[in-house]
Structure 1
Amino acid sequence: MKSYAADKVRNVVLLGHSGSGKTTYAEAALFFSGATKRFGKVDEGNTVSDYDPEEIRRKVSISTSVLPVEWQDTKINFLDTPGYFDFVAESKLAMSVADTALIMVSAKSGVEVGTEKAWEYTEEMHLPRIFFVNQMDDENADFERTLADMRVKFGKSVAPLQIPFNDADGKFVGFINLIKRDARKKVDGKLQPCEMPEDKKDEVEVLRSMLVEVAAESSDELMEKF
């Protein structure tokens, strides 16, 4: 791994309820960035971050792991934290050195106690944060319900940057970037550009307006333009 200047290094702490997919997300970042050649799985006990025998046995994270990922011209240090409250000290220690927080939310379980705690901790530390709605491939996943739940719990400042879309059989296949108004779908395990589904175009404009309004409220100058 090459050397990086300080302005090219980011520390991102992964927070969320136990089982929301923090370790799997980190494993995906390692694999798709080329840092590893194998996509480890928690159930198989072969992930990079959960290496301790007790973690492998319990299938949960006990301590925080630092996972460096090189992406384009930036080094991103993902800090994979435990989800159980017994190890909250590990999470708070990781947050103290993080630039931003990525809060994982299960699309099938929605906002959980661990989600609310993660929000509270980031509020206390004034840490910038972004939600990642995970497990969209589960048959019980519901993105719209999860988004609505987050806006009720955490306020109208929560706005989507991307939304998922399904195929004719209702299976999750890709997502739409609301800022760029472009779509990508999964083909043979990789994302490829595609046409935006016709039945999503009106929804995209509504949600994009929501996003623009939230962004505008953060600046008087932007609000005047809005």
Structure 2
Amino acid sequence: MIAKPLGSLLFFIYNIVNNYAIAIILFTVIVKVLLLPLTLNQVKQTKEMQKIQPELKKLQDKYKNDKETLNKKMMELYSEHKINPLGGCLPLIIQMPILFGLFGALRNPVEYVFKGKEALASIATDAPFLWLQNLVDPDVFMLGGFEVPGILPIIAAVSTYLSMNTMNSAANQADQPQAMKTMNLLLPLMILWWGKSFPAGLTLYWVISNLFQMAQQLLLPKGVKLKEE
């Protein structure tokens, strides 16, 4: 079960920093560094997508009244250049098993993180962080008798949207497959809704992950360009 190794890594970091929130943040950074090869591949895919834009435009003009043929020709073009049109979503999709494993670990930190050390778990998880009373309960507030997502889930949803939409230039976004455009809208809404039940620590992981991802998207293409030059 993936929750056990993730919990062990989180406990190892906690023993170094003695702060549960900081441990989660450092855990997130470590995960993102491990996923760096996938991110580099994503940058490469984005650059290839930019190169074929003129050819895509020609196909769109030629088959503008035949959507079925257009989609077929676009898929052939992607295949010819070894491009996965949904590749921009891969870093987020790959994180899903980590997300659910971490959900189990943070929802039951006594078992998965602190290995039965209830007193230590209580001290660590009950510590406040910023506006949060603790990182075990979801960040929600009451509105008209209903629980609605709080500040952290909102930040998680917005950062997810920004992260997914900064993967390509504005010009490329216009030519994305419909499935990709739909995912760009649905995933942030799903993250916002899940924030009502996720431990705040898990939502914190997602926010830091998105911020790290956006920094990579801004810096890695420049590094790749310099290397090519």
State TM-score, norm by structure 1: 0.26
State TM-score, norm by structure 2: 0.26
Q: With CA pairs under 8 Å and 6+ residues apart, which has the higher RCO, 1 or 2?
A: 2
**Greater share of helix:** 2
**Greater share of strand:** 1
